[in-house]
Structure 1
Amino acid sequence: MKKKLTSLFLLFALIISFIPAGADAHPGRTDSKGGHTCRTNCAKWGLEDGEYHYHNSDGTIKRTNTTTETKSTTTEKKDKSTKKVDSKATEIVLPKKQTSGTLQVYFFDVDQGDSTLIITPKNQYILIDGGNNDQGKNVVKYLTHLGVKTLDVMIATHPDADHIGGLDDVLKALDVKQVFAPKVQHNTQTFEDFLTAVKNEGRTIKTAKAGVSLELEGIEAEFLSPVNDYGNNLNDWSAVLKVTYNETSFLFAGDAEYAAEKDMLAEDSDLKADVLKIGHHGSKTSTSKAFADAVSPKYAIISVGKNSYGHPDSGILARLKNINATAYRTDKQGTITAVSDGKKITLVTTKQLK
């Protein structure tokens, strides 16, 4: 009997030793690869019941999304970024949620696209863009993991698919109080899906343009662009938002190019910011010398993935270096988190440069 009890105790100790750090929220035995399957409280961690994932030593979670799903059954495809089935597994590393009472900005890793979450010190939530069509589910995962159930503001900077493609997924998954977008149309299925999702949510789109402010607690948030009508140049229609929290500030440039930058400079807007989300993924058509000098950021965030466009441009990287801005890239460092206590800004990444 004594030997049997000893054996049972050793077996129990062995099982416990295979449970990774942080697994107490959803216990499960790890396998030979070091991962395990979520069993309980999965939504709290941004996971689905039965979803396979890994726990990193810094408290973040790495998940493997093998879902192959199409978002539209429409056979007629009107834009280049059609909603097709992605047969490749998409891996994302979920960022660690930062201390409440600070201004938190999460620049999500959404491959070649843009998606940024702002959490205010008063726990209000602003989402700027939602990545491409195949990134919508991942954006929802990021938001759920960070405890977002309701978005106070959603901003679609402009109609390009790599910015609004995932927003219909977000609108379906979460309650969204307000939606802002510039007053420009686009004849694509992606744009139609976005409009339909907004309508189904029972919302109307408020116009994002220079001089419009967001009613948020504890911070200032104002659109600096679009200033003028930019015709068919969707990038220059980008809604550019500046957020100020006490002594710190952020500028989110969307895909704004030289014409929009020139207009913002001509308006004598206060462009100075500590953190600049670089326009158009670091394209050479954005971040002119005059604009970069006016913003003069300490940190420059480039949201970019594998692409054939040459993003980010080597000349832009050199320009940022010349103004002493430290550049961070989502393709190199994963999701980038900037945290402000109102006086200083700290940056955290989910991947370390090798």
Structure 2
Amino acid sequence: MAKQKQTKSKSSGDTLRYAGYPRAIAYVNSDGKKRYKELPWGFAVYDTGEREGKYKVKSKVDGKTYEGQYAACHRLRRGSKESTTIWIREHELQDNRCLEIVFVDIGQGDGCFISTPEGKSIVIDAGEEDNMCHYLNWRFGTSKKTKFEAAIISHPDSDHYKGFEALFARPNFYFETVYTNGLMEYADPKKPLGPEKSHKLPDGKKGKLCAGLVTSYDELKTFLADKKNWTTKSGRGKQFASMLNEAFLGNKEIRRWGEDKPEQIPGTGKETMGDYKMLSVDDEYLPGYGPKKPVSMQILGPVTDVVDGRRMLRWLESNISKTKNGHSVVLKLVYGDVSIMLGGDLNIPAEHLLLSHHTGMESPPKPEDKEEFLAAARKVFAVDVAKSCHHGSSDFTPWFLQALNPTATVVSSGDAESFSHPRSDTLGAIGRYSRAEGDARPLIFSTELARSAENSIAKPWELKASLMDKFNAVSERADSREELMSGIKDALKEADIERSVAVFGAITLVTDGDKVVIYQKYEKKSSSGEHDIYCLTRGGDGTGPLEYQPRET
């Protein structure tokens, strides 16, 4: 048989299109015989407009028969078009861009990336190490200028914010606005969350409030300018404030292989972030994502107490960890008829505070008020998909899980075994309180369990340290620059860190506002494909709530 003609397209003729629901198959040639890659729903490709070959197939998804030609395409990777031509059946391509949420395997902590149908990019938390940076490098490339609409730091715990250090230092990354819950780490050990104020709370009890919240760009500028706020007597800056200071100044770094330290590039301001803002229930919605927008993001937490015209956050159980975690930024994202809950590290007192605030009722409720309470709570908190708060910790109230009532839950957990996240009782409770009617099944995903032990790098930062040791050894014995570079390249062959983090362990949600696909990479390629794909569709006559029914895809 004659070899199929392979044609390179001209950029001017390319059209950006996307893999159709629930996946598209890319072939090596236009005869459709040899698979190249499986492309999950929403995967971006450039359609050259060239067509070859013919096909007639019966879909396993809807049972319909489709016929047409193969479209010559190029995958979009690292922010650029790949040169390799792939062939995709015409009916497996779509023009409309979906909403995509990637729960990145960032180890112990949280981190997710959102790509909106309008092409906006948002990062919510970034873990403790640089896995999120590796993922975004893999997705956008290391040199292309990339603008993110927002960096949302749910709360100042290092396993949620420290990964932003690497992102803020990237010369090619820029964030229009950095959002936080307003809490700042202060240098005073007696007042680690800043000035305090005693106040009578709505329930009549006397409470202690965090009065030193940093709510705006100007307030951040004032806070950072007075280094006594965040620098200890030994001259060491508090980690969270130090990171924000570097971002505020616009300082950047260039990292070169084989060099122990990155090259520092002093900023002049505005190189990293354009604005800073505190988020709370008082704002109602994330700026630009109001209730009338195609994608809305309602702010359900933290709940503030306004005293003398200033927002304050109450101390929870007089515990700094409970207070920082419990006042996490909580977002309810809605696109079309699909709803998703994205929260930080909520805990029992925080969940009761949220439930009480949004229902106007006591939480936990009195026995005679249970049904009314749960109905009111679900009007606000019920979603189709939820990101499990606090990595699957057992510090939760069943009332909050019942209010969420999701059909799918994603748990972001890592390798810090002392926490044993996700907890067995938490997984059991999630399953118990999830939505599943008839033969439908609730779904629970875990970034840690999704990771392929054989193919991925669980702790890339440790591998980087090992590689650096090898680089140093190579540099000591190399007699020329050529020998040095050759040795470095040999060491790098041991791992593809960015691809490992990006591909293995990540859990991706894609939706068009009606259907939902959640997928993760198989540990090994199976006969059914390269990805474990779960489809959430409407129950009943197609107008009911989203549910998962096992089916072949």
User: Same fold per TM (> 0.5)?
Assistant: yes
Query: Is the CA contact 1:110–1:305 (under 8 Å) kept in the aligned structure 2?
Result: yes
Please show how residues 129-278 of structure 1 align to structure 2 within 5 Å. 129-135=125-131, 137-144=133-140, 149-173=146-170, 174-187=173-186, 189-201=238-250, 202=270, 203-212=274-283, 213-214=285-286, 215-216=288-289, 217-228=293-304, 229-231=313-315, 232=320, 233-266=323-356, 267-268=358-359, 270-278=380-388
**SS of match in other structure, 1:152:** strand
The residue number in structure 2 matching 1:300 is 409
Take 1:284 and 1:148, find their aligned partners in 2: how far apart are those partners? 41
Among 45, 50, 55, the residue aligned to 2:78: 45
Take 2:338 and 2:141, find their aligned partners in 1: how far apart are those partners? 26
Take 1:337 and 1:258, find their aligned partners in 2: how far apart are those partners? 28
- The Cα of 1:211 is off from its aligned counterpart by 4.0
Please show how residues 70-149 of structure 1 align to structure 2 within 5 Å. 101-135=97-131, 137-144=133-140, 149=146
Structure-2 change in CA distance of 1:247 and 1:109 (3 Å): same
Among 390, 405, 410, the residue aligned to 1:280: 390
- The Cα of 1:134 is off from its aligned counterpart by 4.0
Structure-2 change in CA distance of 1:143 and 1:179 (3 Å): farther
**SS of match in other structure, 2:131:** helix
- Partner deviation per Cα, 1:145-169 (whole Å, 9 max, x = no partner): 6999211111000111110011122
Take 1:318 and 1:108, find their aligned partners in 2: how far apart are those partners? 23
Take 2:155 and 2:353, find their aligned partners in 1: how far apart are those partners? 17
**SS of match in other structure, 2:344:** coil
Query: Is the CA contact 1:282–1:313 (under 8 Å) kept in the aligned structure 2?
Result: yes
Take 2:96 and 2:168, find their aligned partners in 1: how far apart are those partners? 25
Structure-2 change in CA distance of 1:254 and 1:106 (3 Å): same
Structure-2 change in CA distance of 1:222 and 1:198 (3 Å): farther
Take 2:446 and 2:151, find their aligned partners in 1: how far apart are those partners? 23
Structure-2 change in CA distance of 1:328 and 1:226 (3 Å): same
**SS of match in other structure, 1:129:** strand
Q: Which structure 2 residue ranges, 5 or more long, are not aligned?
A: 1-34, 38-44, 46-75, 81-93, 187-236, 251-269, 305-312, 360-376, 435-441, 451-504, 527-553
Take 2:443 and 2:146, find their aligned partners in 1: how far apart are those partners? 33
Query: Is the CA contact 2:297–2:332 (under 8 Å) kept in the aligned structure 1?
Result: yes
The residue number in structure 2 matching 1:346 is 517
Rg larger for: 2
Query: Is the CA contact 1:230–1:236 (under 8 Å) kept in the aligned structure 2?
Result: no
- The Cα of 1:192 is off from its aligned counterpart by 2.5
Query: Is the CA contact 2:411–2:447 (under 8 Å) kept in the aligned structure 1?
Result: yes
Take 2:352 and 2:145, find their aligned partners in 1: how far apart are those partners? 36
Take 2:280 and 2:400, find their aligned partners in 1: how far apart are those partners? 19
**SS of match in other structure, 2:353:** helix
Query: Is the CA contact 2:106–2:132 (under 8 Å) kept in the aligned structure 1?
Result: no
Query: Is the CA contact 1:226–1:239 (under 8 Å) kept in the aligned structure 2?
Result: yes
How many residues align? The count is: 268
Structure 1 residues 151-160 or 260-269, which shifts more?
260-269
- The Cα of 1:172 is off from its aligned counterpart by 2.7
- The Cα of 1:144 is off from its aligned counterpart by 2.1
Structure-2 change in CA distance of 1:179 and 1:227 (3 Å): same
**SS of match in other structure, 2:381:** coil
Among 418, 425, 433, the residue aligned to 1:315: 425
Query: Is the CA contact 2:77–2:139 (under 8 Å) kept in the aligned structure 1?
Result: no
Take 1:218 and 1:193, find their aligned partners in 2: how far apart are those partners? 36
- The Cα of 1:100 is off from its aligned counterpart by 5.4
- Partner deviation per Cα, 1:208-232 (whole Å, 9 max, x = no partner): 1114212145211121101032432
Structure-2 change in CA distance of 1:133 and 1:197 (3 Å): farther
Take 1:139 and 1:211, find their aligned partners in 2: how far apart are those partners? 33
- Partner deviation per Cα, 1:60-108 (whole Å, 9 max, x = no partner): xxxxxxxxxxxxxxxxxxxxxxxxxxxxxxxxxxxxxx98521111000
**SS of match in other structure, 1:118:** strand
- Partner deviation per Cα, 1:110-162 (whole Å, 9 max, x = no partner): 11111101111111111101110343532432552699921111100011111
**SS of match in other structure, 1:250:** strand
Take 1:136 and 1:219, find their aligned partners in 2: how far apart are those partners? 23
Structure-2 change in CA distance of 1:296 and 1:168 (3 Å): same
Query: Is the CA contact 2:411–2:446 (under 8 Å) kept in the aligned structure 1?
Result: yes
Q: Report % sequence identity.
A: 26
**SS of match in other structure, 1:178:** strand
RMSD between aligned residues: 3.1
- For residue 507 of structure 2, what is the amino acid of its counterpart? I
Structure-2 change in CA distance of 1:194 and 1:99 (3 Å): farther
Q: Which structure 1 residue ranges, 5 or more long, are not aligned?
A: 1-19, 26-42, 48-97
Query: Is the CA contact 2:408–2:444 (under 8 Å) kept in the aligned structure 1?
Result: yes
Structure-2 change in CA distance of 1:218 and 1:271 (3 Å): same
**SS of match in other structure, 1:132:** coil
- For residue 415 of structure 2, what is the amino acid of its counterpart? K
TM-score scaled to structure 2, two decimals?
0.45
- The Cα of 1:197 is off from its aligned counterpart by 3.3
Take 1:327 and 1:132, find their aligned partners in 2: how far apart are those partners? 23
- For residue 225 of structure 1, what is the amino acid of its counterpart? G
